[in-house]
A = this chain, B = another copy of it.
Amino acid sequence: MSCGEFELIARYFNRVTSSRRDVEKGIGDDCALLNVPEKQTLAISTDTLVEGIHFLRDIHPADLGYKALAVNLSDLAAMGADPAWLTLALTLPDVDEAWLKAFSDSLFELLDYYDMQLIGGDTTRGPRSLTLGIHGLVPAGRALRRSGARPGDWIYVTGSLGDSAAGLALLQHRVRITDPAVHEALIKRHLRPMPRILQGQALRNLASAAIDISDGLISDLGHILKASECGARVNIDALPLSSVLRDHFEPEQVLRWALSGGEDYELCFTVPEINRGALDVALGRLGVPYTCIGQLAPESEGLTLLQDGKPVTLKLKGFDHFDAR
């Protein structure tokens, strides 16, 4: 192989497209040097994506570059944080310049959109995988957390649920659809999730708890319930479902995707009664729908799903990488 590691990194990832004032030294030394502004708290999250587990072998590198960053941005959104810096550890089986160009172009396009800077990383040879470390800033004391919700708070989700899971099923040929526009729309929801950064920031003073939906609504709402020591009643009739999903698949399948399909990258958050008016003002102008799907209950009640106002039992599980799946 003719292209050395350092040269490779320099060519595709050492672009100074954004140059943030809080970055004292970016790529090019043993560490990056960063200055956190006064009265700001640093929010850090790390995600690994492994080929064959988190993304399909035939995914287009541009889609992978976008999605890898978007799912990490979604973690910042869930804390109400402002995106700032990224580290990228890239493990590749070989040096494929077309792949690298498409991947990095797409990654940098999204970085630029959020005025983020790539501050470092590592490139290694091995089975294809990526680990991103994302760093955001949030005013001190105002980060959204999973804890903090109380019985009586209302449960909301942004956007619609289940489309991404339907898109994945289409990509894996587990389901079929004849209308090419619908096919494409659902696949796009899987490959190009929109991190709800603005919504997270708008919720800083309003939500009592928040999480992003990566493993599926039931699983991720469960994390809020556990951290906040609450139960919940969720009206499954109220779940926001896109018309393409409702029009083209069986209701039971749609419900399973919406509750436990995962990879929605919408926000699930809770709001005290007193903040509901302010919520409509804050989120109403952002152009993404948000829907009340239930209410928190005492912890002893656990999680109850209601259909036509009556409790129902469904066999569903969130995504767990070490499960049989």
A: residues with CB less than 8 A from B are: 1, 3-6, 8, 24-25, 28-36, 38, 41-54, 75-76, 78-79, 81, 85, 87-89, 91, 95, 119-127, 129, 131, 133-136, 138, 140, 143, 145-147, 210-212, 227, 320-324
* CB <8 Å contact, A46 and B129: no
* CB <8 Å contact, B25 and A140: no
Whole-angstrom distance between the Cβ of A323 and the nearest chain B Cβ: 7
* CB <8 Å contact, A79 and B123: no
* CB <8 Å contact, A44 and B120: yes
Q: When chains A and B are docked, how far (Å) is the Cα of A95 from the Cα of B323?
A: 11
* CB <8 Å contact, A48 and B87: no
Whole-angstrom distance between the Cβ of A281 and the nearest chain B Cβ: 25
Whole-angstrom distance between the Cβ of A73 and the nearest chain B Cβ: 11
Note all chain B residues with C-beta closer than 8 A to A41. 24, 33-35
* CB <8 Å contact, B33 and A79: yes
User: Residue among A5, A50, A51, A91 with the most chain B CB within 10 A?
Assistant: A91
* CB <8 Å contact, A145 and B29: yes
Minimum CB distance partner of A78 in chain B: B30
Note all chain B residues with C-beta closer than 8 A to A3. 322
Whole-angstrom distance between the Cβ of A300 and the nearest chain B Cβ: 22
Minimum CB distance partner of A42 in chain B: B34
* CB <8 Å contact, B32 and A44: yes
* CB <8 Å contact, A126 and B129: yes
